[in-house]
Structure 1
Amino acid sequence: MKKLVFLPLCLILWSFTQSDTPLEKYLTRITDPDIIKRDLATIAVWNSNPKKEKDEKITPQSQWELLYYYHSGWHEHSPNHRINISEVYVGTPGNTLVGQTLLDFTKSPHQAALIYSDNPLMVNLLSEARGAPYNGKWVVFSLRDNRICLRYVHSYPNGNQSSWYHRKEYYFQLKN
């Protein structure tokens, strides 16, 4: 009888110790406002001029360094009570992920393959509104200097009692 009680308890405790994503171990949260401002400015520059000569693709063998993770948006659980989200994480120096890890990370029952786009503005248009084609999908777009942004937007604005807009952006650099 003790084993029957002990096993579920262990499983519950184990589930709380697991990270939300396999990428968390490569990230450190930034809390200094000056560093956050600097890093958000860097991300804004990368996003403002994304055109490249060729698009970078995530292949199972490719090697990627995780540079930043930016989680932004808002949610409300009752009308007129909005909680804003703005969290910046920086990649630990020297981290390297194989492309297969990223491909596995983005798999879901609702998305068979990553979506590649050459236009981040179009990604915004197709992901931000409720019911938009890219809403709830992982989208990759290329940036300069062998960088990519892996973006996921999940939004349900103006819903009943609950509304949200969550944008998760992972920035990677291709390792040669």
Structure 2
Amino acid sequence: MVSIALVSVLGPDRVGLVAAIADHLFGAGVNLRDTAFAALGSGAEFVAVCELPEGVTAQELETGLKQVPELEGAEIRAVPYAFDPSPGPTGNVSHRITISGGDQLGLVARLSEVFKQYAANIVRLEARKLPEENGGLYVTRFAVFVPPEQAGLCLATVRNTAGTMGLDCQIEESLL
């Protein structure tokens, strides 16, 4: 049976960070499953569900990552993953939604409630305020699973919610 671990790295953002992490994991024989990376201000976060080769433990993986020079100053964690690594139906993205405009306090909370109301699952979420020299635009992207029978009402409510806040809303059906 394959051993599954969650690998998490939080530290200063720098060029080559993902390459260093991925190279170390590849060298250890690790197969990446669901993986996410984000620059967060001047920091960065890498998180991955990993299949460990036989004989490699999460603790050994963590110890090895702590020796990678590019990860100096980072918080590194590798722990056994207690959940099923295969997403269920609500883990599949049916729609990608981008909301943009001025910064709106409570936007993520309001839209999250809309998704909950229609039994839609947020699979990925990204929110970013662009620098003032780029217009100071606030952009929020949701990758969601919306049950087909709820899609029409859910997406109309999302558009209406964004519109009442003076925001632009773009919705794409996912090909995944």
Higher helix proportion: 2
Q: Normalised by the shorter chain, which TM-score bucket? A: under 0.3
Where relative contact order (Cα < 8 A, 6+ residues apart) is larger, the structure is 1
Relative to the length of structure 1, the TM-score reads 0.24
